[in-house]
Amino acid sequence: MSAWAVTASDGLAEAVRLDERIEVLRDAGSTLHAEDVLAGRHDAAFAPAGAGPLRCADGTACWVRFSLSRTPDAPARWWLRLRALRPGEVALYAPRIPGGEPVAQEGRQFPLNWRFVSTDLFFNVDLPDSEAHYHYLRLADTPHADGFSLWQPLGFERQQRQLATYLNASMGVAFALMMVNLVFWRWLRDTLFLHFAFVMFAAVLLHAWQTVPALAIDEQMGDLNLRGALQCLLQAATALFVARLFDYRVHAPWAARTAKAYAAFNLLAGAVALAGHQAAIEPWSAMLELLSLATAIGLAGWLLFVKQQRQYAWPATLMMALTFSSMLGRLQWLGWMPLGGDVTLGVSWAAARLFYMLLLAIIVADRTRRAELELRHARRRALDDALRVERELEARIAQRTRELGTSNAQLAAEVVRRREAEAGLQVALESERRALGQQRQFVALVSHEFRTPLAVIDAAAQSIGLPGVEASPRAVKIRRAVHRLAMLVDNCLAEERLHADRLKLRIEPLDLRTQVEDLLQPLGPAERARLRLDLQAGAAPVRGDPALLDIALHNLVQNAIKYSPPEREVRIALHLRGGEACIDVEDQGGGIRAQDQPRIFERFFRGTTSAKASGTGLGLFLCDEIARRHGGAVELLRSDARGSVFRFRIPLQTQP
Ligand code: ADP
């Protein structure tokens, strides 16, 4: 093949493509020696390479040669570039110098030209004069090599600068996106932003891995172990981000767990790479990444088409496209898919990276927009709800106010009605009181008027009998009737007196003993015979109204006589104790029924068994009233089958 003469304008704006101009010798078993090849002993075996990449692996080494000359104005030193996938041994041998030793030059890598899939290898090619020379390359353990091209150093430098600009811009974008998303995260408290910031953080580090060595250490290639570790970090961040972007936790919790496990694996793999085993771990990491990318695509499709989660349409489509391209890269790296057409020094690749990040940012922005819309909807809904509740509340308050108004009016009417009723009642009460007063007055008047004729009748009945001769039964009967009538009159009068507001007791000092003894006087002989007086010796001085005390004691004695059989004795005892004079009246009657006992002192109360006996129900009431007016009391000490005992007590008169 004829030599290719490079000119001064070649390899400046773009590379001189050599792919068509190389010849290849396939050394199966890798047995040929460099001296022999360089000495031209195998020249006949070289053949044009033909289309497609070179495959120099599995024990077969490839010898590649090309002939170059230059025009006089062209520079003497050039850069040869080839693109290799997982390159093994690649060496360039300088043009054959007769008699000289073959000198092998190892390929150089530049950080800026580092590729995710393939690797650019650079060699210095010297064209000392305008003569044509053969240059030899030996490739072994390199499954894929192509993109043989030549650059002038000036063109190469320009290329590098351009690349650096793109990469720096790309890093700047990544950094800006990271910061913006961190701010969004702080503002909106949505962890999606934090996840994305994390992805961008890993991207910034990866960029830095490429650009920082290029700036600082004069094109020295960065540590590939570190690069592997950073790649793992990016994969971990991306997995977590995708899981968060598509809300795996909500739709497919197992996927969320898997994404976390995958991220953890990547962190572990990163640590292993850092420890110097990047080359060993990368195939595994690449295969796992392929699997995870396929899963992500599947899940996105499932969410979109099966679960009809339309809100993921945008992110899912973009994610699918991006993920798909990553998958292609991984497939190529693994050698499971042929590499695409030659990529030049990589400006388009760097631009693609920039584009990739911008797309990601769009995805996040879209999610944010949707979230914002949802939030706005939710707010509007909440506002509508609040308004509705408020309206309901107002309606209810209005209703309540109306009801309250009605019930207030009813209440007012009721108050008026009640007041009227009360006034009516007052009037009725007043007239009732007046009627009662008149009635009392009348009873008092009648009772009073009864007294004189009764006294006359009693005196007449008494005078019927002769002194010393027992009174005739008729006279006794008359006297008893008169007596009963007188007592009734007395009770009525006493009741009247006690209830008249103007009552004043006619208090005077008296001896209760005499008072008790006088009780016998009005009684007939039969009644008197039943009484047994048991009076403590000496006087019982008290202060009291003699007429009222007489009525009180009389009532007690009369009850005892009335409610016990005629043959039974009634005992009246007087004794002094604790500053009081006590008069006990004890009979041997049938007693008072238990249910009646609490009521016997009530006015007009009559025992349920006393219908046979005559009475008004006033006696005990008066007795109690009189005792209390005198500062004493009357009480039922005992009442049972043996009879009843009443005690009447009033304070003894203390010495002045
Ligand atoms: P009355 O005019 O009926 O005797 P009282 O006020 O004197 O009215 O007595 C009230 C009731 O107490 C009597 O109806 C009677 O049932 C009962 N009572 C009063 N004293 C006795 C008594 N010594 N023995 C039995 N019952 C009595």
Atom of ligand 1 nearest to the CA of 564: 24
Beta strand pairing status for 142-151 and 77-85? antiparallel
> What residue owns the CA closest to ligand 1's atom 16?
607
State which of 596, 610, 637 you would mutate to test the pocket of ligand 1, scoring each by most atoms of that ligand within 8 A of its C-beta: 610
619 Cα: distance to centroid of ligand 1 (angstroms): 7
For 86-119, write each residue's pLDDT tens digit.
888 899 987 756 666 777 888 888 877 777 777 8
Q: How confident is the model at residue 35 (pLDDT cuts 50, 70, 90)?
A: confident
DSSP 14: S
* pLDDT number for residue 63: 94
Question: By three-state DSSP, how is residue 238 classified?
Answer: helix
Q: How far is the CA of 558 from the centre of ligand 1 (A)?
A: 9
* pLDDT of residue 576 exceeding 80: yes
Q: How far is the CA of 637 from the centre of ligand 1 (A)?
A: 14
Beta bridge partners of 79: 124, 151
Burial of 223 (0-12, 13-18, 19+ CB in 10 A): middle
Distance 493 CA to ligand 1 centre (A): 19
Tokens of 66: 């090309």
pLDDT at 317: 81
In contact, 632 and 565? CB cutoff 8 Å: no
**CA 516 to ligand 1 centroid distance, Å:** 20
* Helix or strand holding residue 156 (H, E): helix 153-188
The distance of Cα 6 from the centroid of its chain, to the nearest Å, equals: 80
Measured by CA distance, the residue closest to atom 26 of ligand 1 is 592
pLDDT at site 500: 67
What is the rounded CA–CA span in Å between residue 118 and residue 139? 15
pLDDT at 598: 93
Point out the least confidently predicted range of 71-85, 174-188, 232-246, 480-494.
480-494
Closest C-alpha residue for ligand 1 atom 2: 615
Closest CA to 205 of 223, 219, 185: 223
Residue nearest to atom 17 of ligand 1 (CA): 607
| pLDDT tens-digit series, residues 439-468 | 877 777 777 777 788 888 888 877 776 666
Kindly give the number of the ligand 1 atom that is closest to the alpha carbon of 589.
24
Structure tokens at 533: 């007086």
pLDDT of residue 343: 45
Tens of pLDDT, residue by residue over 391-414, are 999 999 999 999 999 999 999 999
> 3-state DSSP call for residue 268?
helix
The Cα–Cα gap between 338 and 563 comes to: 136
What is the rounded average pLDDT of the residues 483-508? Answer: 77
Whose Cα sits closest to atom 8 in ligand 1? Answer: 617
Measured from the Cα of 608, ligand 1's closest atom is 16
- For ligand 1, atom 20, the nearest C-alpha belongs to 559
Counting runs of H as helices and runs of E as strands, what totals does the chain give?
A: 14, 19
pLDDT of residue 344: 42
Query: Which among 585, 606, 609 is the best mutation to test ligand 1's pocket, defined by most ligand atoms within 8 Å of the CB?
Result: 606
Reported confidence tier of residue 339, pLDDT bands at 50, 70, 90: low
Q: Residue 345's pLDDT is what?
A: 44
**Of 72-86, 326-340, 428-442, 524-538, the least confident:** 326-340
Which residues on adjacent β-strands are paired with residue 139?
62, 90
Which residue matches tokens 């238990």? Answer: 594
pLDDT, residue 445, reads 75
- Measured from the CA of 609, which atom of ligand 1 is nearest? 16
Angle, in degrees to the nearest 10, between helices 224-245 and 253-272 = 170
Residue nearest to atom 24 of ligand 1 (CA): 563
pLDDT digits (tens, 9 = 90+) for 247-292: 999 999 999 999 999 999 999 999 999 999 988 888 888 888 889 8
* Confidence label for 508 from pLDDT (cuts 50, 70 and 90): very high
Whether residue 192 has pLDDT greater than 90:
no
Q: Is the pLDDT of residue 602 over 50?
A: yes
Q: pLDDT-derived band of residue 383, with 50, 70 and 90 as boundaries?
A: very high
**Mutational test site, ligand 1, from 492, 620, 624, max ligand atoms within 8 Å of CB:** 620
Instruction: Give CA–CA dist 600/621, Å, rounded.
Output: 8
What Cα–Cα distance (Å) separates residue 558 from each residue in 360, 437, 613? Answer: 120, 29, 11
Give the pLDDT confidence score for residue 413 in this predicted structure.
Answer: 95
Q: How far apart are CA 654 and CA 542, in angstroms?
A: 8
Confidence of residue 544 (pLDDT cuts 50, 70, 90): very high
Q: Which residue minimizes the CA distance to atom 7 of ligand 1?
A: 619
pLDDT tens per residue across span 205-257: 988 888 887 765 556 677 888 988 998 999 999 999 999 988 999 999 999 99
Q: Tell me what pLDDT residue 599 has.
A: 94
Q: How far is the CA of 592 from the centre of ligand 1 (A)?
A: 8
Distance CA 269, CA 259 (A): 15
Q: How far apart are CA 480 and CA 458, in angstroms?
A: 9
Of 317, 368, 618, 371, the closest CA to residue 493 belongs to: 618
Residues 6+ apart with CB under 8 A from 285: 228, 231, 232, 235, 266, 269
Average pLDDT, the chain: 86
Average pLDDT over residues 567-574: 94
pLDDT band with cut points at 50, 70 and 90 for residue 477: confident
Q: Residue 162 CB: number of other CB atoms within 10 A?
A: 15
User: pLDDT at residue 649 above 90?
Assistant: yes
pTM: 0.53
Ligand 1 center to 487 CA (angstroms): 15
Mutation test of ligand 1: which of 530, 592, 622 has the most ligand atoms closer than 8 Å to its C-beta?
592
Query: What distance in angstroms lies between residue 140's CA and the mean position of ligand 1's atoms?
Result: 142
Top mutation candidate among 563, 571, 648 for ligand 1, by most atoms within 8 Å of CB = 563
Ligand 1, CB within 6 Å, residue ranges: 555, 559-560, 563, 587, 589, 592, 600, 605-607, 610, 615-621, 644
- For residue 277, how far is its CA from the centre of ligand 1 (angstroms)? 123
Contact 168, 211 (CB under 8 A): yes
> Which residues, other chains included, contact 319 with Cβ-Cβ below 8 Å and sequence gap of 6+?
242, 245, 246, 296, 297, 300, 363
Percent of the chain with pLDDT over 70: 93
Beta bridge partners of 24: 47, 64
Q: Across-strand partners of 70?
A: 6
